[in-house]
Amino acid sequence: MTVTTAPSHQAWTARPSGADTAGLRIDPLGPSFGAEVRGIDLGRLDDDQVLALRTALVTYKVVFLPGQDIDDRAQIDLGRRLGEVTAGHPVHDSGDVPDEVYALDSQDNGFADVWHTDVTFVRRPPAISVLRAVVLPPYGGDTSWADSQLAYESLTPALRDLIDPLTAVHDGSREFGYYLAQRRKGRGNLWDGEVVTDLVPVEHPVVRVHPESGRRGLFVNPGFTSHITGVSEHESRGILDILYAHLTKPEHTVRHRWQRGDVALWDNRATSHYANRDYGDQHRVMHRITLRGDLPVGPAAAA
């Protein structure tokens, strides 16, 4: 899918299609969002390839690596090469998998059919996610990603000025509060050095400055953002609706049709995503790991 890039506040140049870096063949899916990476084995990366993969993530925000043959342990080892692996999820118990793995199993209500950014309801949301297909339905189950930086940069200057100083509340209890209280009996997983016993809403900037690229992007999502602070409920709803509609415009998104052996890596600091629930009662299982992130910073704090 080709993505149309709006004028940016700062220069950001993608590599040409087919660029080869440290053995990685990078084929962009658009000028600055989404790329397919070939020529490497995720189970046998050297240090230069790890660095090139991290660089590609910051540049393209989501990268797809077909034809990989890795299991849970290899997926975790890959994560450790790229950063610090977290628990699979702050509260969810995925059963008979390593603690670092979050299993999204359609037979256990493991769906992600709402636009969201992973785990933004904690103080330090994950920086990077790594997802691989374990069981695929015979049809459907695609995943789409939205480029929050491109979405921000294509807003009108007046709207950017309006949202730059705003903050919003992210609340995980709407999605996982009942699960934590009933299925986990109020005791979740070890996350960021503490066992999660309650999902206290947190506040993040509406516009996040990426700690590596310096680019600004929208940092609100329908899955976990409850409201914007300092404005009325109606104003909050109106602003969020505008931002959500803009974020998920087709020209800001890429869509991936999963095949056996596919692995996707994405930058949670610059994207949102959505998994189609269009495969009926067919079985779909995806295994995800996440890498520890930093405190989101808005434009004023980053200045």
Tally of residues, the chain: 303
Share of the chain above pLDDT 90, in %: 90
Nearest Cα to 88, choosing from 62, 110, 66?
110
pLDDT of residue 10: 34
* CA 209 vs CA 198, 206, 226, 302: distances in Å: 28, 10, 21, 7
Nearest Cα to 235, choosing from 215, 206, 263, 275?
206
**What CATH code would you report for 19-302?**
3.60.130.10
Residue 19 sits at the vertex; the CA angle it makes with 117 and 273, to the nearest 5 degrees, is 10
Q: What sign has the CA pseudo-torsion 297, 35, 221, 76?
A: negative
- Residue 190 phi/psi, 5-degree rounding, is -75, 115
Rounded to two decimals, what is the model's pTM?
A: 0.92
By annotation, the residues acting in catalysis are: 116, 118, 273, 288
Please tell me whether residue 282 adopts helix, strand or coil conformation: coil
pLDDT tens sequence for the chain (303 residues): 333 333 333 333 444 455 567 789 999 998 889 999 999 999 999 999 999 999 999 999 999 999 999 999 999 999 999 999 999 999 999 999 999 999 999 999 999 999 999 999 999 999 999 999 999 999 999 999 999 999 999 999 999 999 999 999 999 999 999 999 999 999 999 999 999 999 999 999 999 999 999 999 999 999 999 999 999 999 999 999 999 999 999 999 999 999 999 999 999 999 999 999 999 999 999 999 999 999 999 999 877
pLDDT of residue 2: 31
CA 160 to chain centre: 22
pLDDT of residue 30: 86
Partnered with residue 216 across adjacent β-strands are: 209
Q: List the structure tokens of 14.
A: 């993608």
Residue ranges of domains in the chain? 19-302
pLDDT of residue 21: 75
pLDDT of residue 12: 33
Please tell me whether residue 181 adopts helix, strand or coil conformation: helix
